[in-house]
Amino acid sequence: MKMARLFDDHAREPFTLLGVGPMSPTVVDASIECAAEHDAPIVFIASRNQVEARDLGGGYVAGWTSRDLREYVRERAEAHGHAGPLYVGRDHGGPWQRDDDHRAGLGWEEAMDSAMRSYREDIEAGFDYLHIDTAKDPAFPRGVPLDLAADRAVHVLREVEAFRAGGGHPEVAYEVSLEEANGTSSTPADFAYFMDTLLKRVEHHGLPRPLFMVGNTGTLTGLSQAGRVDFETVGALAETAARHGVVLKEHNADYLPFDDLARHPAAGIGMANVAPEFGRLQTEALLRLAALEGAACRRRGLPGSAFGEILTDLVFRSDRWRKWVRSGADLATSDAVVLANGHYFDSHPSVRQARAVLMRNCATMGICADPAGFVRHSIKEGLRRYLFAFELTGRNQELCVA
């Protein structure tokens, strides 16, 4: 089922789709298992840092390419019996959206070439939707001007559509964003202007109308949720989006309180993305097992996995953690930094080796009969908050017959 069809029946009780960041194979597996258990649809949203074309350096998630992610999702959906709507899409596609490209200060043509190489692989892999994000440019550290961002979004959309249609690939849904990761809300005036400008140019060029439009709702993900949802502004943004036949989307919904999440469907937020929180839940579960294993090994005079020590060392020898530390106050403890950034190293050889030892020790020492299941369960507990708050449980049959 095409994603757009999920939003065709306006008489249906409102819901908010959940976009899950594929922070690791374990997060993907747990997400599909949880969605299958609760008869819920689910969407995976892969950033260019997470999943990328191999000739661009690949991503940090198991070295996956777009095709690798798509195949893994298909395989695990079959294994878990998930028969409802399940989608894979590109989150934050576009020029300079790969951190290495931005740090290198690529020029427009180089950044655009990199973005298109990535999009082409997404399309060939069968992705269901693509996010076109033109909010980054090292030449504009305070943000790309609205008119330029709209011009670039249309330019990218034209290039992507030309490749898709020229290759005979199926239609995809598109997402465009007016977004800055600063914890503020998009002003209704800016949101309306950007949408009006963008859609007029889209129509002029005969391009497909985006399904989703991202607006800042006030959220800001750091080591925790550093913002809050401005529901008054959300109402104005949702009204503008609905007037144009577009679905309002929210990013950075991680760590929001359940009461705020439960207001999302009625507020008109059609989809919300969550990513770092699920990586943190995985790391938290692994470190909990590592603490128990370490204590048991010390009592018995045996060598342990040293999982926690190895992971902590890798986190602080890298600079990835700085992305999530918004201020000095945010850096409360080293534990918080490791929890928020441990997923980056899930595929590192020394982490994989230590994790294998940890899993084996936990099982043989009687600490946990199914340590891998314990980790998945911890992630699923977090996922359930969103599935229930977003009115997604039990939705698959209804959506499939709509």
Interval 327-380: pLDDT, tens = 554 554 578 889 989 999 999 999 999 999 999 999 999 999 999 999 999 999
H helix and E strand count, the chain: 15, 8
Specify the pLDDT at position 226.
Answer: 80
Q: Which SS3 state, helix, strand or coil, does residue 375 take?
A: helix
Would you say residue 318 has pLDDT above 90?
no
Sign of CA dihedral 280, 281, 282, 287: positive
Better pLDDT: 319 or 155:
155
Domain boundaries, the chain: 11-274+379-401, 279-369
| Residue 194 contacts residue 149 (beta carbons within 8 Å) | yes
pLDDT in tens, 54-92: 999 999 999 999 999 999 999 999 999 998 899 999 999
Specify the pLDDT at position 1.
Answer: 81
Specify the pLDDT at position 329.
Answer: 47
Specify the pLDDT at position 160.
Answer: 98
Produce one character per residue of 47-59: b if its CB has 16 or more CB atoms within 10 Å, e if not: bbbbbbbeebebb
Specify the pLDDT at position 275.
Answer: 96
Q: Would you call 10 exposed, middle or buried from its count of C-beta atoms within 10 A (0-12, 13-18, 19+)? A: exposed
pLDDT level of residue 179 (50, 70, 90 thresholds): low
Better pLDDT: 259 or 180:
259
Q: Which SS3 state, helix, strand or coil, does residue 221 take?
A: strand
Whether the full predicted model's pTM is greater than 0.75, yes or no, is yes
Q: What is the mean pLDDT of the chain?
A: 92
Distance (Å) of CA 213 to CA 11, 67, 217, 238, 391 = 21, 26, 12, 10, 21
- The position carrying tokens 């692989």 is 121
Q: Which of 52-66, 87-101, 170-184, 207-221 has the lowest mean pLDDT?
A: 170-184
Angle between helices 276-300 and 371-389 (to 10 degrees): 150
pLDDT in tens, 245-277: 999 999 999 999 999 999 999 999 999 999 999
**Domain 11-274+379-401 is in which class?**
alpha beta
Would you say residue 183 has pLDDT above 80?
no
Residue 61 CA to residue 28 CA, distance in Å, equals 11
